[in-house]
Homo-oligomer: A and B are copies of this chain.
Amino acid sequence: MKQPYHHKTQYTLRELATGLDATIQGDPNCIVTGVGTIQQANANQITFLTNPLYKKYLASTSAAVVVLQPCDAEECPVNALVTRDPYYAYSKIAAYFVDKPQSIVGIHESAVVGKNCKIDTSASIGANCVLGNNVTVGAHAVIEAGCVINNESIIGEYTHLDANVTVYDKVQIGKRVKIASGVVIGSDGFGLAKHAGVWHKVPQLGTVIIGDDVEIGANCTIDRGAIEDTIIENGVKLDNLIQVGHNVRIGENTAIAGCVGIAGSAVIGKNCMIGGAAGIGGHITIADNVVITGMTAVSKSIRESGVYSSGVGGLTTNAEWRKNSARFHRLDQLVERIKKLEEEKSS
């Protein structure tokens, strides 16, 4: 499935800076052969500085070039690429050093493809993939080995499914979407009706619709809607092991860190950032531009942008934690004691 490839393995700083809103400080002809961290980069590697935690390494860096902000330029002991947005500039430069071979166009002979599929001739279908009937795969899409795509699902142009992804039936996936291995899209939502002491399955008749430029990390699960659809809007980024319940809607450009669970029918706004292992309750609405810190339980709707948290922050020794936890469980009594003191004083 893979073919030999040759890509350029070294660039001048001038070449790397082309098209970026950035200024070269130093030698534009210096040669760069790869990327490195500010601590470890060698004299042929480019690095970047954005996190202030790493500023202390700037003076002693051995990198060929550091991509950095104007305020750090003066202290840079080597060549610099100066820009207001070093991490973004770095992301574009790093792309020159990706050396994955291009996927071979066409359908691998071991793949099993159903009836009436529309697979663009520029798409790649990997070994041991299984496609149902009436599946559509757009131009330049890549479906890696072992993926299963069920009936009537649609995979957009330039979308890339890594190995062993499962897509159920009727799912719609947009353009330039990246889906990591082990992801499951379109499984039944957790819809149950209790009757006479026993749970009965509620049929899940909606599907999942995923916009363009979405990224979904390894082993995420996205359930299909119960009646209407589960919707992931354009530009949403999901880290690994995230659960998206049925009927959820996630707004444009929202980014969600690993291990987050989103219960059914939650609606999350645009441009939100949700920290790792947070939990979003069912039927909750979150406004645009909301930040949720890690491990927060979002137990009610959030109507205004801002930073939100729950629980008790701060890590302590287990011994202190036990002591304070015990006090917490008598907080109500404590308040009564204070009330009594106040009353006695005023009497």
Contacts and interface: CB of A to CB of B under 8 A. Distances in A.
Interface of A: 1-2, 34-37, 40, 47, 51, 53, 85, 87-88, 90-92, 94-95, 97-98, 100-101, 108, 110, 112, 114, 126-128, 130, 132-133, 144-146, 148, 150-151, 162-164, 166, 168-169, 178, 180-182, 184, 187-188, 190-195, 197-203, 205, 213, 215, 217-219, 221, 223, 227-228, 235, 237, 239-241, 243, 245, 253, 255, 257-259, 261, 263, 271, 276-277, 279, 281, 283, 291, 293-300, 302, 306-329, 331-332, 334-335, 337-338, 341-342, 344-345
Given A112-B145, A145-B112, A308-B318, A193 B130 contact: no
B308 A315 contact: yes
A97 B178 contact: no
12 contacts: A164-B166, A187-B218, A197-B271, A199-B253, A239-B243, A258-B263, A296-B315, A300-B315, A310-B315, A323-B332, A324-B328, A327-B332
A163 to B, nearest CB: 4
A315 B297 contact: yes
Contact of A240 (B190, B283, B324): B190
Contacts of A180: 184, 187-188, 221
B299 A315 contact: yes
Contact of A201 (B91, B151, B281, B318): B91
Nearest to A326: B314
A283 B54 CA distance: 11
Contact of A203 (B94, B132, B298): B94
Nearest to A300: B315
Contacts of A293: 318, 321
Contact of A253 (B184, B197, B325, B331): B197
Contacts of A126: 130
A283 B53 contact: yes
Contacts of A317: 306-309
B318 A309 contact: yes
A190 to B, nearest CB: 4
B341 A163 contact: no
A63 B242 CA distance: 35
A332 B324 contact: yes
Contacts of A227: 35-37, 47
B163 A150 contact: yes
Given A87-B193, A309-B321, 5 more contacts: A148-B164, A192-B237, A199-B235, A302-B315, A306-B318
Contacts of A221: 180, 182, 217-219, 240-241, 258
B151 A2 contact: yes
B308 A316 contact: yes
A237 to B, nearest CB: 5
Contacts of A257: 190, 263
